[in-house]
Chains A and B, each alone.
Chain A
Amino acid sequence: MLPETKAVTDMWLTIAGMALVTFLPRVIPLLLLPGMKMPNIAERWLSLISPAILSALLFPALLIGENAAGEPVLSLLNIHLFAAIPSIAVAWKTKSLFCAVVTGIATAALLRFFW
């Protein structure tokens, strides 16, 4: 066990380190890239980051569960995947982000109640 003061210093150092390695990737491209001449293919690639990263974040939230040992496994029978269906329908139909979110929350709550 570390002495108390060293542990606290380590904690602050760790928080500062986390802040730095999070801040720099967020800010450096915004500072360097505007005004830079970019090849057309890079511009096209950047324009596709949005759909690619959104689904890279969404798909695991819908499809990945945990087994008894806490390891990630493919899960097709889970509340999130079922709640996604009405959310997709409402997002498609109304084009409203707010309606999609409220539908998703309500469906997830209902499913959890009856599951």
Chain B
Amino acid sequence: MRRNSQTTNSGGGLRFFGGMPPSPVLRGVKMAVPIMLGYAPIGAAYGLLAQQAGFGMLHALCLSVFVYAGAAQFMAVSLFAAGMGFPVIVGTTFVVNFRHVLMSASLSRFLSSWTKSERVIFGGMITDESFAIHSRNFERGDTATNAALALNTAAYLTWVIFGMIGFHMGTLIKRPEAWGLDFALPAMFIGLLLPACQNAPSVIAAIFGGAVSVTLHLAGAGNWAAFIGAIAGAAAGVCFRRPKP
């Protein structure tokens, strides 16, 4: 199922250098464009929020550089502003970000040929969005290290740089949602979820995972929703494929 094709082109769209195959780095950056479209406005919104909550520039920057996790950063800024301390903020961050363990485990199936340091650098920059694109690429047999790292780096730099732009001139960006930019990431999940639902188990996994996650949100356990939803959804899919007697 994996590595059955030598896919090197990521599908239609732009072509670089008049038809010559683009370099892996360019390919990675190009695949990151939908992520960058979503990260730019959200990153700027984070920067603005941090500035308004009284964060110093260096603190706001270091959160982006060393944590690099949108939901957790928004949450940390609000908790700080509400006067919460180390245990609450770090504990909540752990819960919110623990879903990455599933993404890392899922991607690890394809990366046994990578060196340990490549895997550490790659893993440190896994996000919901980059996971979704890597997962699609790896399933297609495209595990080129440079393209994958370039994709991660492009998304990472967009997040960090727009965080700083938002911090310094966030008030200039009045309402990013007026431009529809708040829908960039949900639209990306749609564009990646549909092709990922190619057989009955994956459809079951998606429906069940989504339903569990929505239920947990409604029950007030939104921080756990993605993690538990993913575990339950994938388990439901596995059960469905149990071989018949």
Binding site for B on A (CB under 8 A): 10-19, 21-23, 25-35, 41, 43-64, 71-74, 79-80, 83-84, 87-88, 91-92, 95-101, 103-113
Contact = CB atoms under 8 A, between A and B. Distances in A.
The majority secondary structure among interface residues of chain A is: helix
Given A43-B109, A54-B132, A84-B190, A22 B59 contact: no
Interface string B151-170: 00000000000000000000
Interface of B: 11-13, 33-34, 37-38, 59, 62-63, 66-69, 72, 76, 80, 85-86, 89-90, 93-94, 97-109, 111-112, 114, 116, 119-120, 122-124, 126, 128, 131-133, 135-136, 139, 177-197, 201-203, 205-214, 217-218, 220, 222, 225-226, 229-235, 237-238, 241
A44 B217 CA distance: 27
Given A25-B98, A71-B220, A84-B187, 9 more contacts: A26-B124, A44-B201, A52-B206, A58-B190, A59-B214, A80-B182, A83-B186, A98-B33, A101-B188
Residue among B59, B139, B193 with max Cβ neighbours from chain A (10 Å):
B193
Given A54-B192, A109-B180, A17 B90 contact: yes
A83 B107 contact: no
B37 A101 contact: yes
B135 A50 contact: yes
Nearest to A44: B238
Contact of A10 (B85, B124, B132, B191): B85
